[in-house]
Amino acid sequence: MSRILWGGATSASQYEGGFTDGKGLDTQDCRAYLPRTSNATTETRLLTQRQIEEAKKKDSPYYYPFRVGTKGYEYGSADIELLKELDLDIYRLSISWSRLFPTGEEVEPNPAGVSYYDKVLNKLYNAGIKIFITIDHYAIPLNLVEKYGGWTSIKTVAAYMRFSSFLLHKWGAIVDYWLPINEINAGYFSPFNGVALVKPENGEYNYSDIFLSLHHQFIASAKTIKLGKELKVKGKFCAMISCFCYYPLTPKPEDNLELVENEEINQWYCMDVLAKGYYPYYAKPFFDKHNINFEISAADKELLRNNTCDVVTFSYYDSCICTADENKNQTAGNLVVTTKNPYLKATEWGWQIDPMGLRTTLHKIYDRYNKPVMISENGLGAKDVLTSDQKVHDQYRIDYFKAHFDQIIKAKEENVDVIAYIAWGIIDIVSAGSCEMDKRYGVVYVDADNKGQGTFKRYKKDSFEWYKHFIEHQRERSRSK
């Protein structure tokens, strides 16, 4: 088995900014920053027609953090120097769809966008850092949502294929890993982020819209893989889910059954289709129960069967608890709400820290799919303080890394084919869940606050040196084996 690659990641909307040079408005650009209250958290996680109308106003009084990100569009080159200094094996980044295809309907991509990514990707390639591209990370051109209903329409699949086909043709020779859709199961538990569904003002999402949109994303993924293989691109193709490592609250059979149902639909459903190539046995009864109706043609079935992913990847931030009991003591998790686990500590945002749960997840996912596994996102979202001598003493992040890395290395020794670990938000970025700058993951600090005030200068945190030495040490160990 090859050694584990150690990396870092950002996503275009959370990092780049650069709301210029012909970039079109996308779904994340419509999310305003609202100070943290329980209402604000819910509001900013959803996209409503009212918010879209507000976001389109030239004189809206709100601050839109995803239009600024942490100014990667400006700092890209200097940031790659920092990644080189860290000696990362691999860097995961996403491409802003609306920077290349502002409305999603253009035939030719925006030259300024192409030139930006050309510089970034070539610089990474020349630095010997492996490139992992997420094609769609939670952001689609707003025009596709307004005109066609986003992923509910097959027209969005066609638009996505123009986008992904351009990427494969242009950078197929230098990219090592391709991921068609970020955390695809988010379409179910966070329909705005995952499948760009606009939330009805006074109602719930429609289950049929969600599952039809997911089907269209499966088709878009499989078509992209098919094209990539036809073009004989260099890279491997990934699929990605968010994993939660579920525990039953008690040994009560009801709690355990609740766990099975949660795992199936929240966690495995999308990966079952993308890694195995067919809809799982539990889909039909779930569809019947929720009146979900859409046609899966014979051609779709064949496409899915013949174009499964090469690598199974997942994000992991916290573990979750399942109970059939109505009275739950709740806490937050990555885009989900769960029950508190008395054995675990939680982050300031309530996400329950569980390194051993990561090892458990590695075993479960490898056992279920039997394909190489990659942790494509993990990290600690915490408030950091820049001291007057411009240091960030983030021992808590180093402790978090150590605890998780120990478990990953153990899983590898237990024969799970873990091929890479990618630290989320390696350079500080805007939080996707809460739209805050306060919630930082990076080993590089960016001087900016929740309202975009600051110099945006970069400072190495203590965790920077720690991660750098860890990577060096891992490389030496594998050389001496």
Residue in 183, 258, 263, 436 annotated catalytic: 183
What binding mask, one character per residue, do residues 293-322 give for ligand BG6 by CB under 6 A, x or -? ----------------------x-------
Rank residues 307 and 361 by Cβ distance to ligand BG6 and give the closer one. Answer: 361
State yes or no: residue 434 binds ligand BG6 (CB under 6 A): yes
Instruction: Tell me how long the chain is.
Output: 481
Rank residues 255 and 394 by Cβ distance to ligand BG6 and give the closer one. Answer: 394
**Nearest distance in Å: CB 376, ligand BG6:** 9
Q: Are strands 130-136 and 90-94 parallel, antiparallel or unpaired?
A: parallel
Please choose, out of 67-75, 122-130, 304-312, 428-436, the segment that lies near ligand BG6 by the rule CB under 6 A. Answer: 428-436
Which of 126, 25, 110, 21 lies closest to 73, judged by CA?
Answer: 21
The residues facing 337 across adjacent strands are 332
Which phi and psi (to 5°) does residue 163 adopt? -65, -55
Which of 267, 268, 247 lies closest to 258, judged by CA?
Answer: 247
**Nearest distance in Å: CB 369, ligand BG6:** 20
Rank residues 292 and 426 by Cβ distance to ligand BG6 and give the closer one. Answer: 426
* One of 182, 213, 224, 267 touching ligand BG6 (CB under 6 A): 182
For 131, the 3-state DSSP assignment is strand
State yes or no: residue 134 binds ligand BG6 (CB under 6 A): no
Residue nearest to ligand BG6 (CB): 433
* One of 44, 338, 431, 463 touching ligand BG6 (CB under 6 A): 431
Cβ contact 66:31 at 8 Å: yes
Rank residues 255 and 436 by Cβ distance to ligand BG6 and give the closer one. Answer: 436
**Nearest distance in Å: CB 159, ligand BG6:** 22
Q: Is 377 a catalytic residue?
A: yes
Q: Half-sphere exposure (CA, 13 Å, Cβ side) for 216?
A: 25
For 263, the 3-state DSSP assignment is helix
> Using CA of residue 339, residue 40, residue 194, residue 232, what is the dihedral sign?
negative
Cβ contact 337:331 at 8 Å: yes
**Nearest distance in Å: CB 450, ligand BG6:** 13
What are the b/e assignments for 190-226, b being 16+ CB within 10 Å?
bbbbbbbbbbeeeeebbbebbbbbbbbbbbbbbbbbe
For 196, which DSSP code?
A: -
State yes or no: residue 381 binds ligand BG6 (CB under 6 A): yes
State yes or no: residue 266 binds ligand BG6 (CB under 6 A): no
Cβ contact 170:228 at 8 Å: no
**Nearest distance in Å: CB 13, ligand BG6:** 8
Please choose, out of 74-82, 165-173, 322-330, 430-438, the segment that lies near ligand BG6 by the rule CB under 6 A. Answer: 430-438
State yes or no: residue 432 binds ligand BG6 (CB under 6 A): yes
Widest Cα–Cα separation across the chain: 64
* One of 439, 440, 460, 461 touching ligand BG6 (CB under 6 A): 439
**Nearest distance in Å: CB 423, ligand BG6:** 11
Q: Strands of 341-454 (E only): list them.
A: 373-377, 418-423, 444-446
**Nearest distance in Å: CB 311, ligand BG6:** 17
Please choose, out of 111-119, 231-239, 265-273, 424-432, the segment that lies near ligand BG6 by the rule CB under 6 A. Answer: 424-432
Residue with tokens 């952001």: 139
For residues 79 and 442, what is the distance between their CA atoms, to the nearest angstrom? Answer: 12
Residue in 258, 263, 377, 436 annotated catalytic: 377
Q: Is 414 a catalytic residue?
A: no
> Using CA of residue 297, residue 303, residue 304, residue 306, what is the dihedral sign?
positive
* One of 29, 136, 176, 183 touching ligand BG6 (CB under 6 A): 183
Cβ contact 31:47 at 8 Å: yes
State yes or no: residue 334 binds ligand BG6 (CB under 6 A): yes
**Nearest distance in Å: CB 37, ligand BG6:** 16
Rank residues 303 and 444 by Cβ distance to ligand BG6 and give the closer one. Answer: 444
Which of 253, 37, 158 lies closest to 261, judged by CA?
Answer: 253
* One of 433, 437, 445, 456 touching ligand BG6 (CB under 6 A): 433
**Nearest distance in Å: CB 54, ligand BG6:** 22
Residue type, 433: G
**CA 364 distance to own-chain centroid:** 20
Which of 395, 379, 377 lies closest to 461, judged by CA?
Answer: 395
Please choose, out of 66-74, 153-161, 281-289, 426-434, the segment that lies near ligand BG6 by the rule CB under 6 A. Answer: 426-434
Please choose, out of 63-71, 265-273, 406-414, 432-440, the segment that lies near ligand BG6 by the rule CB under 6 A. Answer: 432-440
For residues 243 and 406, what is the distance between their CA atoms, to the nearest angstrom? Answer: 19
Rank residues 235 and 433 by Cβ distance to ligand BG6 and give the closer one. Answer: 433
Helix or strand (DSSP H, E) at 112:
helix 111-126
State yes or no: residue 11 binds ligand BG6 (CB under 6 A): yes
Applying CB under 6 A, the residues found at the interface with ligand BG6 are 11, 14, 138, 182-183, 242, 315, 334-335, 377, 381, 424, 431-434, 439
Which residues are part of the catalytic machinery? 183, 377
